[in-house]
Amino acid sequence: MPRVCAITGAKVRSGNRISRRGKAKHLGGVGIKTTSVTKRTFAPNLQNVRANVDGTPTRLKVSVRAIRDGKVVKSPRRVFLRKHGAIKVG
């Protein structure tokens, strides 16, 4: 399964890691120089979540930002429902 959020579509993005050396001018140095630029990836913070999709609980890979924003409706745990009398056992 790819690293993509099922709700927001957030996925791995690329960028640069910049290595620098030297002392800043305002601290008495001659300035900061860039020594190398290397490619890197920024991965979304994906979590496996049981969520209600069309009334049925399914597992989704969802970014934490979508969970925090309330875009995911988590399915209730059966233990919780059993404890509060919504599900009768036996």
Per-residue pLDDT tens digits for 48-73: 999 888 878 889 999 999 999 999 88
> Please, which pLDDT band fits residue 5 given cuts at 50, 70 and 90?
very high
pLDDT at 16 over 70: yes
| In-domain check, residue 56 | yes
What's the distance, CA 84 to chain centroid?
A: 32
Domains: count for the chain: 1
**Does a structural domain hold residue 79?**
yes
Structural domain boundaries enclosing 42:
13-83
Is it the case that residue 18 has pLDDT exceeding 60?
yes
Task: Give the burial class of 66: count Cβ atoms within 10 A of its Cβ; 0-12 exposed, 13-18 middle, 19 or more buried.
Answer: buried
> Is the pLDDT assigned to residue 9 strictly greater than 90?
yes
Give pTM, 2 decimals: 0.66
The answer to whether position 3 is within a domain reads: no
pLDDT for position 55: 79
In a domain, 62, yes or no: yes
Long-range contacts of the stretch 29-34 (C-beta < 8 A, 24+) = none
Any domain includes 53: yes
